[in-house]
Structure 1
């Protein structure tokens, strides 16, 4: 049976609807960066997602090709994730999506080294006849965070974020946004097939202990 990160690491991908504290270890990702409203039709965000998934499936389906990857195990491609921020804003301002800076992510299985990533970029470029230089190998250790499962439309996230902030404060923490520490979302639902009120999104914010 294919390894499913959502099921094996439920503490990171399937948290309850009540906020909780979690420490996220170092993980390697595929990543693509950009800015602007993610809802823009045929915009840079949607183009970046297409590139991420193309590389992700090149790695997953390598088992069927001539180039066999050392340590390969069959797995379910992990869910799309996103880091979001805006210049001059602490946290995020949902009313001004056009100002978003973002990094879109897909987790890589542990057998994917930088060398395997480089091969996957070359292989995908050759197959698709497209430039994939925007896709990065992105090692990242998120560390101490407060997180919660948000159910419903993305525009309703501020209520969940507020509950997370209150919970963290009650536990003796404060939010810790800054370089390398962002508003983080993990998308567990396919927005094309799921009604807005049923969308499941993990929301995660960096925190630090108040001294």
Structure 2
């Protein structure tokens, strides 16, 4: 049976229009870092070209060993030296990011190494900058955002300036987005994005 983590993980189904508190356990991801506007930066395009061939190669390594799964959608950690670049100014040129692909917990470094060798043998984009790492977010505030990415600013501002302080919390860790819609196929108003922010009790 093919495993689909999107359906199995409860924190992949947040409410739309309100915030919820969830505890996210440590999870394994493929990760690659970069900086700049995702709409115009060649570094961003190169990161995607390295991340997803490796993600699919890992899937096929696992499938050949008898455990198949659905490759998870793109995710990203986002931050800036001045966080108003996210909430009010939306100055994407100042953004730092780490692109993520969630892996099942049975995937090992040896599986990733085998997949990396398979990608290299096919002459695909080099995946040497992609690493396997555990992300432990713990307590988080999240919501489902429906619509264009550029409309996220007011939602994030309410999260940062209203929900977090009103609930005795403070920001802790990097802003996390999970892209359940495909910007290449869906109209902007139909995009679904999980907005997640790690927090801690003040």
TM-score, structure 2 normalization: 0.90
Q: For 1:123 and 1:73, how far apart are their aligned partners in 2?
A: 18
Partner of 1:25: 25
List per-residue Cα deviations over 1:168-211 (Å, max 9, x = no partner).
322221222xxxx211100000001111111100001121112x
Moved more, 159-168 or 146-155: 159-168
Q: For 1:206 and 1:109, how far apart are their aligned partners in 2?
A: 21
Q: CA deviation at 1:75?
A: 1.0
Partner of 2:151: 156
Count matched residues: 198
> Do 1:19 and 1:163's aligned partners in 2 also have CA atoms closer than 8 Å?
no
Distance 1:13 1:61, change over 3 A: same
Q: For 2:19 and 2:105, how far apart are their aligned partners in 1?
A: 28
Q: CA deviation at 1:140?
A: 1.2
Q: CA deviation at 1:40?
A: 1.0
Counterpart among 174, 191, 207 of residue 199 in structure 2: 207
Unaligned runs of 5+ in 2: none
Partner of 2:82: 89
Partner of 1:146: 141
Question: Which residues in structure 2 correspond to 1:47-126 (within 5 Å)?
Answer: 47-62=46-61, 68-69=64-65, 72-86=66-80, 88-90=81-83, 92-93=85-86, 95-126=90-121
Partner of 1:170: 166
> Do 1:148 and 1:164's aligned partners in 2 also have CA atoms closer than 8 Å?
no
CA root-mean-square deviation? 1.8
SS of equivalent residue, structure 1 residue 128: coil
SS of equivalent residue, structure 2 residue 49: helix
Q: CA deviation at 1:109?
A: 1.3
SS of equivalent residue, structure 1 residue 155: helix
Partner of 2:126: 131
Q: For 1:25 and 1:5, how far apart are their aligned partners in 2?
A: 14
> Do 1:80 and 1:186's aligned partners in 2 also have CA atoms closer than 8 Å?
yes
